[in-house]
Amino acid sequence: MTKTLNPPVWTGVDAPFSDKASVSQVAALCWRDGKDGREVLLVKSSRGRWILPKGWPMDDRTDAQAAKLEAWEEAGVKRGKVAKVPIGGFVTEKRFDDGTTSLCHVSVFEIGVKEMTSRYPEAGLRQRKWMPVKKAIKKVDDAGLKAFLKRL
């Protein structure tokens, strides 16, 4: 889907890694061929913002595997080919349930989606929507993610 980003592209607040107190997450850039060209999959966060499926790295999985698991849990991606290395990433502000925030470095892994399902762990909690990249750029309000999507 994407042009080769070599080195991987990082966008957002203070990119790349500069804050020792920051946290890291992994995200899935899920794509498919739509009727009007390539589309990406966004999900609504618990705070009602359009984002990529993302979550925490996992001790028992590679970051690519963790990103694919997040795509399954949050968006119902049942089958797809995941890139082994991130295509880039972005820096954002992570808000925790207790109200605190931290800079968050999000590594993005591309997934070419082959199959979706309507039954998945967070189906009742999240909306999901396929859209062209240009529309996705307009839907997201996170500056780092927006800048990342503009580079695709």
Q: Which of 13-27, 29-43, 120-134 has the lowest mean pLDDT?
A: 13-27
pLDDT at 14: 47
Residues making up the chain, counted from first to last:
152
Q: How far apart are CA 57 and CA 90, in angstroms?
A: 15
Determine how many CB atoms are found less than 10 A away from the CB of residue 141: 10
Across the chain, mean pLDDT equals 88
Is 40 within 8 Å of 118 (Cβ atoms)?
no
pTM of the model: 0.85
pLDDT reading at 11 higher than 80: no
What residue ranges define each of the domains in the chain, with the CATH number in brackets? 21-150 (3.90.79.10)
pLDDT of 60-98, one tens digit each?
999 999 999 999 999 999 999 999 999 999 999 888 888
